[in-house]
Amino acid sequence: MDFKRKRVRVLVDTWCEIILRNIRTREEAVELLKSMYEHSSVTPIKGASTPPDLFDKEMISLYIVGKYGLGIDKEVPPEVIDNIFGFEKRLERFVELVKKVESYDELCREDPELCKELSDNFIARALRYAFTLTYFGFAKDEEFRSILKKLYALLPQFADTVRRFAKFYIAFKVGEMIHKGELRNKMDVGIAKNTIALDLSIPNAVPNNRYIIEVAKNFFRLPTRILNELGRRSGGGDTT
């Protein structure tokens, strides 16, 4: 069973437990999610690091699989969804607004309260929400790229946060290409990561190969030969 299917299985099982145990608070849900992952020896969606709030972030996956995969939002009382996933619903609202608006001012006119909530953490989680939709197959990759580009243009005050997520995304996509056998050596990897970065048009977003390895290992089983080749110290302009 691949990493994605394992994550989906744990998320579905977690929803079953939420309903069986009549869980009604976010704190309980986060603790349950953490125990379910640990019991199954599955890691949440993550980059190269493991932040202390990782399972709070992974509530995005639980919300998305529950709503778009299982239709749980139609079975569970709305007040329970609001109590547990109020933050994810605001992220969802924000991502939908970003698709429609053409400026920061328009965004704030559409939802002044949401606009007040914007921070580096909020933007990072909104990007995680949009990425997770794509990862689990509920949105197209092109939609995520569009959101990433648009946020970089709309919110220059959060450019560094968007750039960091762009590096993560590029590392993920390169890892996916290696996993599929589309990239066979360091030169292929260099071309691929620079091509994706060029498409995103976000400056200084090209990850180095060591970062690509660390991110990709959380999503794919990569050939040892490629890992060894990319793991060698390389010169050049990698900055991550």
Interval 220-232 mean pLDDT: 81
Per residue in 13-39, pLDDT (tens digit) is: 999 999 999 999 999 999 999 999 999
Rg of the chain, C-alpha, whole Å: 18
DSSP alpha helix (H) spans, 21-140: 26-40, 54-57, 59-64, 78-100, 104-110, 112-116, 120-135
CA proximity to 26, closest of 81, 93, 100, 94 = 81
Per residue in 60-105, pLDDT (tens digit) is: 999 999 999 999 988 889 999 999 999 999 999 999 999 999 999 9
Task: Give domain status of residue 67, yes or no.
Answer: yes
Task: Give domain status of residue 82, yes or no.
Answer: yes
Q: Let me know whether 8 and 81 are in one domain.
A: yes
CA distances to 20, 34, 66, 70, 107 from 16, rounded to whole Å, are 6, 15, 10, 11, 37
Q: Let me know whether 76 and 128 are in one domain.
A: yes
Task: Give domain status of residue 93, yes or no.
Answer: yes
Q: Let me know whether 137 and 160 are in one domain.
A: no
Q: Let me know whether 106 and 130 are in one domain.
A: yes
- Which residue, of 112, 141, 170, is where some domain finishes? 141
Total count of domains within the chain? 2
Range of the domain at 8: 1-141
Q: Let me know whether 31 and 137 are in one domain.
A: yes
Q: Let me know whether 112 and 231 are in one domain.
A: no
Q: Let me know whether 120 and 6 are in one domain.
A: yes
Q: Is the pTM of the predicted complex or chain greater than 0.85?
A: yes
Q: What is the pLDDT of residue 75?
A: 86
